């Protein structure tokens, strides 16, 4: 392999417990395992990362896992070397000392600000835009994941299978602690057929415990609500492919739910001034294209009911309507999965972009 752009540094601050580090860890493994790059992943919260990667030692300042060098991002930051490509994940802001070291090189590295995923149309026009640093001889490029060929696409594992197996009678729950869990549990309790809801630890389980006594499992009518242990990424991906419905949050599990080819509900990360609702609506508009009208309305209503303050009767009604149209939504989820498979693959897009940009 040519030495050009062999070394990559990814900087990640853990903001949303697992979403940011989930994307960065998955990207690091793609760059290493698929593209043969030597990757250092700088993380400020190794404790959160350990949930995704149980073999990680949260006390070790430097360690190697799955071919990735994982480093503790500390302050002050000591620069030992600068990589050929530097990924600033989700505008986390590089250490000043590292920026200066980049500027001191005879040839500056490729510097990428990996943005959050959005279906909003403006992301296409901003993808790949160059931003010169205000005082240093450096250029940062904004790189947007997305749902069209005009973006960087989505992270996708090689050989990802299309969904063909029948789903189990299970629902996975991975949400934030502001989710409308009470009304939703009431809706589950009245389900006509037995079902099993698998609740992830952390914020999802906290939200459920706020509504139900004890530590579970719980039986609500025909519904069994069960806490499950935190799963490594590959195991969680398999769980999403197995369940009939997945409730997901943030970005990494949101993308994995789409590649699972199952019906899902997205609990989006809340932002100030309800800016997240524009992002949510943009995705709903894109996702429901081609879905029959009544089923598209059911998808829109359950997404909005899960993410906006509503009267307590709204979510149960939206959930029942969602279930009533589940066969059509399930067919659409499989078609959407195939559409996502045809999008650019994010790590490959990054490798090509960086090679072309500098």
DSSP 156: -
* Residue from 9, 115, 237, 251 carrying the catalytic annotation: 251
Overall size of the chain counted in residues: 358
Is 251 known to be catalytic?
A: yes
- DSSP H helices in the chain: 19-33, 46-52, 96-104, 122-126, 181-189, 203-209, 233-242, 252-260, 275-287, 293-307, 314-324, 326-341, 346-357
Q: Which residues contact 255 (CB under 8 A, 6 or more apart)?
A: 117, 154, 155
Checking phi first, is residue 248 left (phi over 0); if not, alpha (psi -120 to 50) or beta? Answer: beta
Do 249 and 268 contact (CB within 8 A), yes or no?
Answer: yes
Do 79 and 101 contact (CB within 8 A), yes or no?
Answer: yes
Rounded distance, CA 107 to CA 85, Å? 12
Rounded distance, CA 216 to CA 193, Å? 20
Do 102 and 65 contact (CB within 8 A), yes or no?
Answer: no
3-state secondary structure of 339: helix
**Radius of gyration of the chain, Cα coordinates, nearest whole angstrom:** 21
* Residue from 20, 84, 157, 252 carrying the catalytic annotation: 20
Is 120 known to be catalytic?
A: no
Task: State the CB neighbour count (10 A cutoff) for residue 109.
Answer: 20
- Active-site positions? 20, 251
């Amino acid at each position: 392999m040519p030495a050009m752009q062999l070394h990559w540094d990814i900087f990640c601050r853990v903001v949303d417990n697992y979403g940011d580090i989930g994307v960065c860890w998955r990207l690091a493994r793609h760059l290493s395992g698929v593209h043969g790059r030597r990757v250092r992943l700088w993380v400020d919260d190794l404790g959160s990362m350990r949930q995704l990667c149980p073999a990680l030692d949260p006390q070790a300042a430097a360690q190697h896992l799955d071919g990735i060098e994982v480093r503790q991002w500390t302050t002050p930051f000591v620069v030992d070397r600068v990589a050929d490509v530097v990924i600033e994940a989700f505008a986390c802001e590089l250490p000043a000392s590292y920026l200066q070291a980049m500027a001191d090189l005879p040839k500056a590295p490729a510097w990428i600000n990996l943005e959050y995923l959005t279906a909003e149309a403006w992301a296409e026009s901003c993808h790949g835009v160059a931003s010169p640093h205000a005082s240093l001889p450096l250029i940062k490029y904004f790189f947007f994941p997305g749902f069209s060929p005009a973006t960087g696409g989505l992270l996708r594992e090689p050989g990802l299978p299309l969904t063909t197996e029948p789903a189990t009678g299970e629902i996975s729950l991975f949400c934030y602690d502001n989710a409308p869990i009470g009304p939703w549990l009431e809706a589950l309790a009245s389900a006509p057929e037995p079902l099993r809801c698998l609740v992830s630890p952390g914020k999802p389980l906290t939200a459920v415990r706020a509504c139900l006594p004890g530590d579970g499992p719980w039986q609500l009518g025909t519904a069994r609500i069960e806490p499950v242990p935190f799963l490594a990424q590959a195991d969680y991906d398999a769980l999403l492919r197995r369940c009939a419905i997945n409730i997901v949050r943030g970005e990494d599990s949101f993308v994995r739910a789409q590649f699972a080819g199952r019906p899902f509900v997205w609990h989006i990360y809340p932002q100030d001034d309800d800016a997240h609702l524009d992002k949510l609506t943009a995705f709903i508009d894109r996702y429901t294209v081609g879905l029959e009208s009544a089923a598209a309305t059911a998808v829109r209503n359950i997404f909005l009911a899960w993410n906006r303050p509503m009267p307590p009767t709204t979510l149960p009604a939206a959930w029942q309507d969602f279930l009533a149209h589940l066969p059509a939504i399930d067919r659409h989820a499989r078609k959407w999965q195939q559409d996502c498979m045809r999008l650019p693959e994010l790590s490959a897009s990054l490798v090509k972009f960086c090679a072309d940009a500098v």
